[in-house]
Amino acid sequence: MAPTLSRDDLLADRSLVGVAFCRALSERVDDWLRSLFAEVVTDVAGLALVATGGFGRSELSPFSDLDLLLVHEGRPDIADIAEQLWYPIWDEGVKLGHAVRTPREALDLAAEDLETATGLLSIRHLAGDRSVTTDLARDATTQWRSKSRHWLPVLADTVDERHRTHDEVAFLLEPDLKQGRGGLRDVHALRWAQSADEPLPPADVATLADAYEVLLATRVELHRAAGRSGDRLLLELQDEVAAALGHGDADELMAAVSGAARSVAWISDEAWFRIRRSLRRRWGIRRRRPQEVLPHILLTDDAVAVAPDAPLDLLTTLRVAVVAARNGAQIERASLERLAAGAEPLPTPWPQEARELFVDLLACGDAAIPVIETLDQTGLFVALIPEWEPCRSKVQRNVYHRFTVDRHLCETAAQAARLVDRVERPDLLLLGALLHDIGKGVAGDHTEVGMTMVPTIARRMGLPPTDVDQLVALVQHHLLLPDVATRRDLDDDDTIRSVAAAALTVERTQLLAALTEADSIATGPSAWSAWKAGLVRDLAARVSHVLGGGALGELEREFPTEQQRALLRAGERSITGRGQVLTVVVPDRTGVFNRIAGALSLNGLDVLDASTHSEYSMALAVFQVESAFGGDIRWPKVCADVDRALTGRLAIEARLADRIRTYSARHQTPASLRIVEPTVLVDNELSSSATVLEVRAPNSVGLLYRITRTLTQLDLDILRSKVQTLGPDVVDSFYVLDSEGNKITDPEHVAEIERALVYAMAPPEVGH
């Protein structure tokens, strides 16, 4: 009977973390495989069982694959031996990567295949004839070195491609610990380069070792928490991983991961830059002579350097940064180290050249991000903006935001650089983009904190008082346009008046509109859409019209249009869907809105905007929707279900209950990640024509149906609804009137509405 593999005791031993766990598990698996090998093989001459990959490095995480190579010198019984070895491993449920080769076959394949070549660099003897393993390891390393001029450029390109595919470890909220930029695979790649006689400075080797241990320990605990293999550190697992590693909370864990990944990425970028330069020299490619493109700043084909006689101050730093960003060049490490060690601070206020250079750097867009990251890694960016320090690696623990605070600010500035032609003051747009969330590094309301920080930063930069005020206003109102556009009725004059009162000028409105787009795109894919862009553009145009001297009465009303009024006058029932818009015209009756909402939910459609209007004894309802799962909307089925719902031929609640049972349990968002708990805001000041109900709640199947059913039961008339999804949560706004067509002002009535809505928003399994 084949020996079995037991690892439950290792998984349960919480004192084993990181490298210690990996070694303990690797040793356990080593012993098991040696026992298997001993049962199968009696004559080991010319035969060896070899570990490769992560197993070869003794770095097994709890659910890692086993990579094994059976090396033989021409044995006729090798197929039988392999079968007797592999099957017991599969029987244990272990994922196995396996190969059977002679040394010559292994080396020949390694000469053609990068993965095989690098895999042989970390082989480790497990069982059998040790000389076979020793000889193969020696020959593989020799071959790797001899072919380094071929393989190193290929390896460098795979590193770049992997970074493009898997993105950042340091700045993403759910990083790929292995494949992302700054992750474990980057360290492996550097070790492979070292095997080709491309040494790293001793200080870098030590830094890499420390960072690698942080990332490896995190990956081990990720496997434990998930109960399966995986490399992406998901939000819902971060609390458990943090606790297992002794961190105070998930924020502390992610800061440690970010710091480690920053170090790896910094060393990796510098190493591959140096390797590529070395290869060009070997190929006889001559570098262009350095040219002085700015005072004391030298540019070659691939790098920017500071002249030996350059003043070591932050003005020189900004010159270097701008030249690097404009040319897509790397800043020479020696120059960075000189500046970091001795850069004198700028005077307060900054000289005009420094201010202009800083804006020029931001105007480089995406090219500015790696340059700012380089300055940040060496402490030079914080020297320019000390308020940046608390934002470094600061996580935003919700699924709405994709990046850490510091990277989000850089991404927003990069997006803003694409929009400078839309505004009169590009410099203020770029500075506002970089600073709009600067308050998130400090406890408290980030907008209020930012409003106190920005004047200090702006005055230090030497901005005049009017520009300081404009920057403060951009920070204060950076959420104004998206919040109003997605939650308020843009046909309501009071909405336009309130935004105009905050924006004050057409110039500021333009700046806020551009900042909204840049901020939303930088936030993540769920924060910006064609629908939201249209709403913000419409709102900004209406506000600019009023601030430019136009009258509110001149604004064209979007709902109902003359064409829609004609449908009401005709009195003919119709249900049509086109694009993302459902238009329903039916005889006016109670419950039209919530029945439509129920049918849409059953078809997997999310409502973004909805408007209703009654006239000529007919009801008009227009719903802007999108598929919750992507793809095209099946309008014939949707319209048929809406028709059945409106005529009482669709069991909406029963069908929603079935959908909840089959869907919600698999898509539950942990409470720790929710932005809001169920709340209700009743406001009679936002609109002169209706009471505005704003509800916030965790999203769930049929939520809009339950809310609108409750409003119908309370005999409230829904005039307009807007729905905004914030990751796992929603913010719904309803413009309503009571049964007599009036706003709801009675406190007792308001209290009953609040109570009913909170109950309706409770998770279905609790409240229903």
In a shared domain, residues 600 and 744: yes
Among 146, 165, 183, the domain boundary falls at: 146
In a shared domain, residues 633 and 647: yes
Among 257, 282, 307, the domain boundary falls at: 282
In a shared domain, residues 594 and 652: yes
- Asked whether the CA dihedral 663, 669, 675, 680 is positive or negative, the reply is positive
Residue at 119 is within a domain: yes
Query: What is the C-alpha separation between 256 and 234, in angstroms, rounded?
Result: 16
Residue at 447 is within a domain: no
Burial class from Cβ neighbours inside 10 Å (0-12, 13-18, 19+) for residue 195 reads middle
| CATH number of domain containing 74 | 3.30.460.10
Predicted local distance difference test score (pLDDT) of residue 663: 65
In a shared domain, residues 668 and 745: yes
In a shared domain, residues 169 and 104: no
| CATH number of domain containing 259 | 1.20.120.330
Within 10 A of 699 (CB to CB), how many other CB atoms are there?
19
Burial class from Cβ neighbours inside 10 Å (0-12, 13-18, 19+) for residue 449 reads buried
Query: What is the C-alpha separation between 662 and 134, in angstroms, rounded?
Result: 56
Residue at 747 is within a domain: yes
Predicted local distance difference test score (pLDDT) of residue 768: 42
**What's the count of helices (H) and strands (E) in the chain, helices before strands?**
32, 16
**Is residue 86 classed as helix, strand or coil in its secondary structure?**
helix
In a shared domain, residues 115 and 198: no
**Residue 502 backbone dihedrals phi, psi, to 5 degrees:** -85, -40
> 3-state DSSP helix/strand/coil percent for the chain, to nearest 5?
55, 15, 30
Burial class from Cβ neighbours inside 10 Å (0-12, 13-18, 19+) for residue 748 reads exposed
In a shared domain, residues 63 and 78: yes
In a shared domain, residues 59 and 189: no
- DSSP labels for 581-597? EEEEEEE--TTHHHHHH
**b or e along 265-290 (b: 16 or more beta carbons within 10 Å of the residue's beta carbon)?**
bbbbbbbbbbbebebeeeeeeeeeee
In a shared domain, residues 159 and 105: no
Residue at 163 is within a domain: yes
**Is residue 726 classed as helix, strand or coil in its secondary structure?**
strand
Residue at 237 is within a domain: yes
Q: How many residues does the chain have?
A: 768
Q: How far apart are the first and last CA of the chain?
A: 55
Among 234, 250, 282, the domain boundary falls at: 282
Instruction: Give the start-end residues of each E strand in 102-155.
Output: 124-128
In a shared domain, residues 131 and 189: no
**Residue 129 backbone dihedrals phi, psi, to 5 degrees:** -80, 105
Predicted local distance difference test score (pLDDT) of residue 555: 78
Query: What is the C-alpha separation between 761 and 485, in angstroms, rounded?
Result: 24
Spatial strand order of the sheet with 581-587 comes to: 574-578, 581-587, 618-627, 605-615, 717-726, 729-737, 691-698, 679-683
Would you say 684 and 743 are in contact if contact means Cβ atoms under 8 Å apart?
Answer: yes
Token pair belonging to 145: 């070195």
Nearest to 395 by CA among 583, 185, 239, 587: 239
* Single-letter code of the amino acid located at 45: A
Predicted local distance difference test score (pLDDT) of residue 676: 62
Token pair belonging to 704: 């809009």
In a shared domain, residues 163 and 127: no
Residue at 646 is within a domain: yes
Residue at 204 is within a domain: yes
Residue at 713 is within a domain: yes
Would you say 338 and 331 are in contact if contact means Cβ atoms under 8 Å apart?
Answer: no
Interhelix angle 352-363/446-461, nearest 10 degrees: 130
In a shared domain, residues 155 and 225: yes
Would you say 533 and 734 are in contact if contact means Cβ atoms under 8 Å apart?
Answer: no
User: Domain span at residue 13?
Assistant: 8-146
How many domains does the structure of the chain reveal?
Answer: 3
- CB proximity list for 204: less than 8 A, separation 6 or greater: 267, 270, 271
Predicted local distance difference test score (pLDDT) of residue 583: 96
- DSSP labels for 443-463? SS-HHHHHHHHHHHHHHHHT-
Average confidence (pLDDT) per 10 residues, the chain, 768 residues: 82 91 96 95 94 94 94 93 94 93 97 96 96 97 95 96 95 96 98 92 95 97 94 94 95 95 96 90 74 92 91 96 96 94 91 98 98 96 97 85 95 98 97 98 94 98 98 98 92 93 96 98 89 93 93 80 90 94 94 94 90 90 88 94 96 89 58 68 94 92 92 92 78 92 95 96 63
